[in-house]
């Protein structure tokens, strides 16, 4: 933990990736947006992929204003609406015209708040979107972009999972299961393609201030997205699996140290607290209307 988060780290990601461009999915908010800015700061040209062109244009403009020497491309693509690889093909062709040094598979969706499976609002319509968005893009984009990395014998793939994908958490059933897939998929890639020059890292963060988490006030254990991204990107090349940020790593490691029944008890209690807070907020909003 000290080596990862407290000691100076000077990994040259551009040299490791041997490619000028970095792709970031889910790039207009939260962790994805923060990764985009941090990678631009480190000298990568950026391909932003998200569903809303207006937001993409805003992020593109902001990056170009802050880093005038960086090129930025945007691709508007709603992952929830595309389930066949043929629907991805035009995007793949566009991306493979570029020298892709880094792929950040970040796009994901979840619930408004944790709850029992049968109590999730509009669950029968929401669950397919969660399964598709959280699992299919990471699979297809990796399969499409990784061949050029293997040919070049260099590249970086970062798959953003979640602490809920490390521990099966009550009330996060479908979301937690899809994030476990991301970790498992990353493990299999490392086993199937060793010694190919491609660095494959899985990140399993806890809560970050974002639209998805509904957390607005940063703290040591709940950082803002920019703080998280700077920390997580600095671990590339040093570890294959990480929480990405020291406050999250402490939570993850503590859960591993205690007996499983105690870990489950404290994690479940925290999740129920999040649910109760969300329901109170929902009640206040309904009353305000």
Region at 171 (left for phi over 0; alpha for psi -120 to 50; beta for the rest): left
Q: Where are the beta strands (DSSP E) in 110-228?
A: 155-160, 198-203
User: Does 213 reside within a domain?
Assistant: yes
Number of C-beta neighbours around residue 67 at 10 A: 19
Of 143, 53, 60, 162, give the one whose Cα is nearest residue 103.
Answer: 143
User: Does 48 reside within a domain?
Assistant: yes
From 111, 175, 181, 193, active-site residue: 175
What does the angle CA 196 – CA 200 – CA 206 come to, to the nearest 5 degrees? 175
User: Does 92 reside within a domain?
Assistant: yes
Residue 263 sits in a domain whose CATH number is 3.40.50.720
Whole-angstrom Cα distance, residue 111 to residue 212?
8
Collect all residues with Cβ–Cβ distance below 8 Å to 72 and sequence separation of at least 6. 40, 45, 46, 47, 48, 60, 63, 64
User: Does 193 reside within a domain?
Assistant: yes
> For this structure, is 175 an active site residue?
yes
Per DSSP, helices labelled H in 153-259 are 173-192, 225-233, 246-257
> Domain containing 114: what range?
13-288
User: Does 5 reside within a domain?
Assistant: no
User: Does 4 reside within a domain?
Assistant: no
Per the structure block, which two tokens stand in for 12?
């040259």
Q: What is the pLDDT along the chain (289 residues), one digit of tens a residue?
A: 767 887 767 789 999 999 999 999 999 999 999 999 999 999 999 999 999 999 999 999 999 999 999 999 999 999 999 999 999 999 999 999 999 999 999 999 999 999 999 999 999 999 999 999 999 999 999 999 999 999 999 999 999 999 999 988 899 999 999 999 999 999 999 999 999 999 999 999 999 987 666 677 899 999 999 999 999 999 999 999 999 999 999 988 887 888 888 878 888 888 888 899 889 988 888 887 6
User: Does 212 reside within a domain?
Assistant: yes
Q: What is the largest CA-CA distance in the chain?
A: 59
Whole-angstrom Cα distance, residue 104 to residue 142?
9
Number of structural domains found in the chain: 1
User: Does 1 reside within a domain?
Assistant: no
């Amino acid at each position: 933990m000290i080596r990862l988060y407290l000691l100076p780290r000077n990994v040259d990601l551009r040299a490791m990736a041997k490619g000028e461009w970095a792709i970031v999915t889910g790039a207009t908010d939260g962790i994805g947006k923060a990764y985009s800015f941090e990678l631009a700061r480190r000298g990568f040209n950026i391909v932003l992929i998200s569903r809303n062109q207006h937001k993409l244009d805003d992020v593109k403009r902001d990056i170009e204003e802050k880093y005038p020497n960086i090129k930025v491309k945007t691709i508007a693509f709603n992952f929830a609406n595309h389930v066949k690889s043929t629907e991805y093909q035009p995007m793949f062709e566009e991306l493979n015209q570029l020298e892709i040094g880094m792929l950040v598979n970040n796009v994901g969706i979840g619930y408004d708040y944790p709850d029992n499976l049968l109590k999730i609002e509009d669950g029968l319509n929401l669950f397919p979107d969660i399964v598709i968005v959280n699992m299919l893009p990471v699979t297809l984009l990796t399969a499409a972009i990784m061949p050029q990395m293997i040919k070049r014998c260099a590249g970086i793939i970062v798959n953003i999972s979640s602490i809920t994908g490390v521990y099966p958490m009550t009330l996060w059933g479908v979301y937690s299961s899809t994030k476990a897939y991301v970790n498992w998929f990353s493990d299999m890639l490392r086993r199937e393609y060793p010694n190919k020059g491609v660095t494959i890292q899985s990140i399993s963060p806890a809560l970050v201030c974002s639209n998805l988490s509904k957390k607005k006030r940063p703290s040591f254990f709940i950082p803002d997205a920019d703080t998280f991204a700077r920390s997580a990107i600095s671990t590339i090349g040093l570890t294959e699996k990480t929480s990405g940020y020291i406050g999250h790593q402490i939570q993850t490691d503590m859960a591993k140290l205690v007996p499983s029944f105690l870990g489950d008890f404290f994690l479940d209690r925290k999740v129920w607290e999040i649910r109760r807070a969300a329901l109170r907020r929902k009640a206040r909003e309904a009353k305000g209307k």
